[in-house]
Chains A and B, each alone.
Chain A
Amino acid sequence: MHHRLKLLDKYYDITVHHRSAKHLVQIGDAEPRCAVLSVTDSGDHTIQLGEQRTRVCVKVKGEMVYIRAFGQTFDLRIVNPVEQAGLSVKGGSNKARAPMPGVVVDIHVAEGEHIVKGQSMMAIESMKILTTIQAPRQGKVAKIHFAPGQSFEKGAILVTLCPEDE
């Protein structure tokens, strides 16, 4: 199977080839290497790729793969094909999304208002932290999706801007 993985803000194309009981893992255009993920006595895993080998703890949930290795914790994401297609298209900055779950504290712009890049559009609070949502570019506010006091989840669209050609 071929998939794209995101690790530390970079994308990698990975292909796993099955050869009887073995897996061959190909990263980008590199030569495929024999790879084995085995469970240790302590319940951790050992990953072997070609000559390289290390102990890892791995948990998978949906598209996310969480790994502890080399004294650090990593999240890797399996990029779904729809998103993969979207990655090549420029833009997507019509929407300001919530960086974390929280509550709207104050709204600084009005629908239809012209704004400049970096202008504060909304103040939000999550737990003890107050943050402002800034305009990703200059333009016109199309829609404000939440009122003060309303709560939202991570990734929710908070403010939509009119498309750039308007």
Chain B
Amino acid sequence: MRKIKKVMIANRGEIACRILRTLDRMGIASVMVYHAVDADSPAVRAASETVEIDGSTPVAAYLDMGRIIAACQETDADAVHPGFGFLAENAVFATRLAHEGIKFIGPSPENIELMGNKIKARSFCIDNGFPLAPSVTEAGAGEQFAVQAGKIGVPLLIKAAAGGGGKGMQIVRDLDNLEAAIQLAKAAALRSFGDDVVYAERYEEKPRHIEVQVLADEFGNVVHLGERECSIQRRFQKIIEESPAPRLESDLRERICATAVEITRKAGYRNAGTVEFLLAPDGDFFFLEMNTRIQVEHPVTEMVTGIDLVEMQIRVAQGEYLPFNQDQVKTEGHAIELRLYAEDPANDFLPTTGPLLAYSLPVGGSVRVDDGFSEGMKVTSAFDPMLAKLITHGATRNEAIERARKAIADTLVLGITTNVDYLARIIAHPAFAAGQIHTGFIPQYGNDFDSPLLTKDQRDLLLAAAALSSREFTNPEFEAIEPYTSIGNWRN
């Protein structure tokens, strides 16, 4: 076992801040690469050592393997934590690091290769008898792809083989639109992942997205840290996650978690990973994919288990045994995460950009905030529009929701349109409180989340506040030209 001495954080924003916190607590030195646009970010300000990197775009800088490896060598970093996104699921990067004698804090290149490619992952599941939704791969069906996809029936989902995060996914509800959807999905796949191979699978109406956090060491020990419910999604992307999943019978929960552990074991996987399942209303569940990295929503698992997942990633990467077995993993209470995005829910959740004129989030007590922004920063289109994650814990689900409600009421973000008010309305919804959630929750109850109407008194107060806070209205220099000032009568 060789202890890791210095970790290069090859990421930015909130996840870079979060990784840094654990490294500091463990007493491991750290260094961070950054692009100039992030120079004033909290992550870069918090880092004790930084290396500036450049690229044709800011994103390209964080994807530049050669430059990041060189930065490791310049700074004597002996390990890299990739966070999520960017190079986190890039087998080539993991391989190149291994050749340079630098540890990749994550799974092996073979693990990434297997699970990163949806088609390989699916055939792995088929070969090993793990549950899968009916599907057709373009690679397998060739020119018969559209015909065979049509045979699965509608609704049908067309997805990139190489991708994740819902990028470019297409739902087909009418087979007449199948060909067009395939072409759109292929174009999106090529653009996002450099590979236009797609596959089609049965689309379940009202399913739940349940995922299981797993941890595995190099010695074949595998444990799960329970499940996360991630069904509240818009544009196929999660915005609210919780653990444990509400309304999940304990025997079904155990079967899902056990299946995740078996998949992890069979894949020879090591380090932290997440096995995602689709849970149909009838209790059938299907493997969706395995994410070979730390997830955005990992804090809810940390809040209920008390386990620091980044610490476990580092300890496993430096060759330690998992410090606990399955029976020693205990969960307590309930945790819920709200993702704050710079986006406009009233305009189809399109990303928004602008300055954070006011930005404050409530931290402390049962509230955890993971973020990488501070007041005065500008949100640009250079990166993902997530601003922050607000995570609350409670003894019960109701208590966690109530604390989330209070936390979001104490959140102030001005200067840019965000989904803060929208999140507040979702968690206040009776169907959410009842745990009646599925991935179609937002479309189903969509109108319930519209902004409530203002009363005339409220409207007038807003208009008066805006007028009195604006120099355009109150600057006396302008006032002199108004005739009523000279004639001493304020009525015009």
Which A positions have Cβ atoms within 8 angstroms of B?
Answer: 1-3, 5, 7-8, 12, 14-19, 23-25, 27, 32-33, 35-37, 45, 47, 49, 52-54, 56-61, 64-76, 78, 99-102, 105-106, 123, 125-131, 154
- Is A5 a contact of B381 with CB atoms below 8 Å? no
Q: Chain A residues near B454 (CB, 8 Å)?
A: 8, 70
Q: A15 with B492: in contact, given A25-B468, A67-B465 (CB under 8 Å)?
A: yes
Please report which residues of chain B, range 372-420, place their CB below 8 angstroms from some CB of chain A when the two chains form the complex.
380-381, 383-385, 409, 412-415, 417-418, 420
A16, A45, A60, A102, most chain B CB atoms within 10 A: A16
Counting CB contacts under 8 A, is B338 at the interface?
no
Contact of B468 among A8, A16, A126 (CB under 8 A): A16
Bound-state CA distance A17–B459 (Å) is 19
Offer 7 A-B interface pairs, CB within 8 angstroms, sorted by A.
A16-B473, A17-B484, A18-B474, A47-B461, A59-B415, A78-B470, A105-B187
Please report which residues of chain B, range 209-267, place their CB below 8 angstroms from some CB of chain A when the two chains form the complex.
235, 237
- Is A59 a contact of B414 with CB atoms below 8 Å? yes
- Is B460 a contact of A52 with CB atoms below 8 Å? yes
- Is A65 a contact of B469 with CB atoms below 8 Å? yes
Q: A154 with B465: in contact, given A18-B479, A59-B415, A75-B417 (CB under 8 Å)?
A: no
Binds A, one of B87-95, B160-168, B277-285: B160-168
Bound-state CA distance A162–B474 (Å) is 43
Bound-state CA distance A90–B112 (Å) is 57
Counting CB contacts under 8 A, is B324 at the interface?
no
Q: Chain A residues near B420 (CB, 8 Å)?
A: 73
Contact of B413 among A73, A127, A131 (CB under 8 A): A73
- Is B384 a contact of A58 with CB atoms below 8 Å? no
- Is A126 a contact of B463 with CB atoms below 8 Å? no
Residue of A nearest to B236 (CB): A128
CB distance from A19 to the nearest CB of B (A): 6
Q: How many A-B residue pairs have CB under 8 A?
A: 176
Counting CB contacts under 8 A, is B60 at the interface?
no
Residue of B nearest to A77 (CB): B466
Q: Chain B residues near A76 (CB, 8 Å)?
A: 462-463, 466
Q: Chain B residues near A3 (CB, 8 Å)?
A: 467, 470, 472-473
- Is B424 a contact of A66 with CB atoms below 8 Å? no
- Is A72 a contact of B451 with CB atoms below 8 Å? yes
- Is B414 a contact of A37 with CB atoms below 8 Å? no
Contact of A1 among B384, B457, B458, B474 (CB under 8 A): B474
Contact of B414 among A18, A68, A78 (CB under 8 A): A68
Counting CB contacts under 8 A, is B351 at the interface?
yes
Bound-state CA distance A65–B469 (Å) is 8
Residue of B nearest to A101 (CB): B381
Binary per-residue interface labels of chain B (96-137) against chain A in the complex, 1 for a CB within 8 Å, 0 otherwise: 000000000000000000000000000000000000000000
Contact of B415 among A66, A70, A99, A128 (CB under 8 A): A66
Counting CB contacts under 8 A, is B476 at the interface?
yes
Counting CB contacts under 8 A, is B464 at the interface?
yes
- Is A66 a contact of B462 with CB atoms below 8 Å? no
- Is A126 a contact of B381 with CB atoms below 8 Å? yes
Counting CB contacts under 8 A, is B482 at the interface?
yes
Q: Chain B residues near A36 (CB, 8 Å)?
A: 468
Counting CB contacts under 8 A, is B352 at the interface?
yes
- Is B467 a contact of A14 with CB atoms below 8 Å? yes
Contact of B352 among A17, A54, A100, A123 (CB under 8 A): A100
Q: Chain A residues near B452 (CB, 8 Å)?
A: 72
